[in-house]
Structure 1
Amino acid sequence: MAARSIASLSLSFGLVSIPVKLYTATESSSDVRFHMLAPDGSRVKQQYVSEKTGEVVERSSMNKGYEFEKDKFVVFTGDELKALEEGASHVVEILAFIPEKAIDPVYYDKAYYIAPDKRGGKPYSLLQQALAKSGRCALAQWASKGKTRIVQVRPEEDGLVFQQLLYADEVRSLKELNIEHVQVSETEMKLALQIIEQGAEDHYEPAAYEDEEKKRILAAIDEKIEGKQVVTHEPAEATAGGGQVIDLMEALRASLKGDAKAKPASAPKRKSAEPVTEIPVAPKTRKPATRATKTPTEAPAKVRAHK
């Protein structure tokens, strides 16, 4: 199915205006969705009921209200809200050009793609190639649906990504968690770096990983369709207190040896006066995420995503 644009915009690049079309970059239609059913197996229907009269209210007769005090609202009709949204601008104004890695990914919101519209091919390609060569991305603003949005326009090999960003007040700070920073020894650091090096890869390959939980649910759905009894797997019980406490050095060494079942019975005597750090280890509840094999496997085909 061909991609369909969701908006036509104009990207301002200096005195150049680039006509572009906006496309969604992600989708969730592949999620396994379940419907709510009555005891007789029929679908249930959601209804809105007035708190005052108890009567069912049809969606077409509803208005929206903003609660400025407890149980006090200012009411907006659908036409009034539409008029407010019509004030949105289709111009995306570039504010600055910043280093590509200057934005913490925690500020990333929804991602879109932009492609050139009619007569926009050359200035679009110029901006894409200039950003890639400079190692910078564009920071822009765009008014849409009653909100001024900040976006990052960054170059990729096949085009430009239109990354919507969160504002500072929409992102919580790690400082709120009051995380204790504990001193670690040089030996512990050396072993940890060795473990990282063992598992180091140069690129992230999204296709190399699969949603194991989704596969398990789809397999259970197929079993139900075929009239089979679904086999359930009981998760391992978590022990109180976060699990057993083991010696960190011993766990690091066992990790390098690949001995996942090493028992932390007693810590060996050390010649140096290096401090021993202990770390709580939570019990294993499920298998870690597995990478997809190159051999194609037949996924359950009996379940389709519902619109």
Structure 2
Amino acid sequence: MAARSLASLSLSFGLVSIPVKLYTATDSGSTVRFNLLSKDGSRLKQQYVSEKTREVVPREEMVKGYEFEKDQFVIFSPDELKALEEGASHIVEIVSFVPEKGVDPIYYDKTYYIAPDKRGGKPYSLLRAAMAKTGRCAIAKWASKGKSHMVQIRPIEGGLVFQQLLFADEVRSIDELHVEDVAVSDAEMKLAVQLIEQASEDHYDASQYRDEEKERVLAAIDAKIAGKEIISQEPVEISPSGQVIDLVEALKKSLSTGKRSAAASKTAAAKAPAAEPPAPRKSAKRTTASVAAIPKRAKKA
């Protein structure tokens, strides 16, 4: 299925204007969702009820308002709401360039891709290559649907990522948690560093991990479709939070366990025959009822 753009934008880079298109970079539609049904199996329809009259209010009689004090609202007409959104701009203005790791990921919000539009190929490629060479990313301003946004534009292999950022007042401070700073010994630090180095990788490879919870839920759905009873898993026992442990001994055991696991993995890999492609899941042969059990992403109202 071909990617569909969300918007056409103009990326302002000095005196250069780069026409680009905006695309989603993530897909939440693969999440397993359940529908609300009545006991007879029919879908339930969402309705809005007036707190005052307890009667259902049809959509055509709904209005939008802003609560400025407790239970005190100022009402906006559709034309007034539209006027508030007229500040939206198709221009994304780059205001600075910072080191690639100069933005704390805690400020990351929604992630998009941008690709060059007509006649934007060369300036797009130039900006991407220049940022990659200098090890910097762009910080830009953008206004959309009544809200200002700050975005980070960073180069990746094959294109540019358009990372929407949170403002400072949208991120809570960890100081609110009053985390205690406990002193650690040199021996504890040395062992902890060794443990980190033992489990270190050059980068995070998302393809090496599976959504095991999603697979478990889908397997349960397949079993349910097949008429089997779903057996609840036994709860995992958790050690009391106040348990006192010997930190050094725990770190030493972790190191030795990690070394044994690594050695066992290498031995198994050497003895193992050439890997064969995994067999398809039996649940792939789903009937119409199977597909209906995993609802599609609902459209926004």
Q: Distance in 1 between matches of 2:255 and 2:212?
A: 26
**TM value normalised by structure 1:** 0.85
Q: Distance in 1 between matches of 2:67 and 2:198?
A: 56
Which digits, 9 at most, give the CA deviation of each residue in 1:160-189, with x for residues without a partner?
A: 100000011111111111111111111111
Q: How many residues align?
A: 274
Q: Distance in 1 between matches of 2:202 and 2:13?
A: 34
Contact 1:113-1:160 within 8 A present in 2 as well: yes
**Structure 1: gaps (5+ residues):** 261-292
Higher helix share: 2
Shift of 1:237: 3.4
Shift of 1:296: 2.9
Amino acid across the alignment from 1:27: D
What is the SS of the residue equivalent to 1:242? coil
2:249 equivalent in structure 1: 250
Which digits, 9 at most, give the CA deviation of each residue in 1:7-63, with x for residues without a partner?
A: 010000000100100001111000000011112121111110112222211123211
Matches within 5 A, 1:1-307: 1-238=1-238, 241-242=240-241, 244-258=243-257, 295-296=277-278, 298-299=280-281, 300-301=283-284, 302=286, 303=291, 304-307=294-297
Query: Alignment RMSD, CA only?
Result: 1.8
Amino acid across the alignment from 1:113: Y
Contact 1:30-1:305 within 8 A present in 2 as well: no
Amino acid across the alignment from 2:151: V
Contact 1:29-1:305 within 8 A present in 2 as well: no
Shift of 1:294: 8.3
2:272 equivalent in structure 1: none
Q: Single out whichever of 156-165 and 243-252 deviates more from structure 2.
A: 243-252
Q: Distance in 1 between matches of 2:233 and 2:20?
A: 50
Q: Single out whichever of 229-238 and 198-207 deviates more from structure 2.
A: 229-238
Which digits, 9 at most, give the CA deviation of each residue in 1:93-131, with x for residues without a partner?
A: 010111111100000000010000111111111111011
Amino acid across the alignment from 2:153: V
What is the SS of the residue equivalent to 2:88? coil
Percent identical residues? 68
Q: Distance in 2 between matches of 1:238 and 1:249?
A: 21
What is the SS of the residue equivalent to 2:123? helix
2:265 equivalent in structure 1: none
Q: Distance in 2 between matches of 1:104 and 1:249?
A: 32
Q: Distance in 2 between matches of 1:231 and 1:298?
A: 24
Amino acid across the alignment from 2:95: L
Contact 1:85-1:145 within 8 A present in 2 as well: yes
Contact 1:31-1:305 within 8 A present in 2 as well: no
**TM value normalised by structure 2:** 0.87
Q: Distance in 2 between matches of 1:23 and 1:77?
A: 31
Shift of 1:232: 1.8
What is the SS of the residue equivalent to 1:48? coil
Q: Distance in 1 between matches of 2:257 and 2:157?
A: 38
Which digits, 9 at most, give the CA deviation of each residue in 1:182-232, with x for residues without a partner?
A: 111111111111111111111211011001111111000000000011122
Shift of 1:244: 3.2
Contact 1:37-1:44 within 8 A present in 2 as well: yes
Q: Distance in 2 between matches of 1:85 and 1:74?
A: 17
Amino acid across the alignment from 1:253: K
Shift of 1:71: 1.4
Q: Distance in 2 between matches of 1:7 and 1:32?
A: 28
Q: Distance in 2 between matches of 1:113 and 1:298?
A: 32
Amino acid across the alignment from 1:157: E
Shift of 1:259: 8.2
What is the SS of the residue equivalent to 1:93? strand
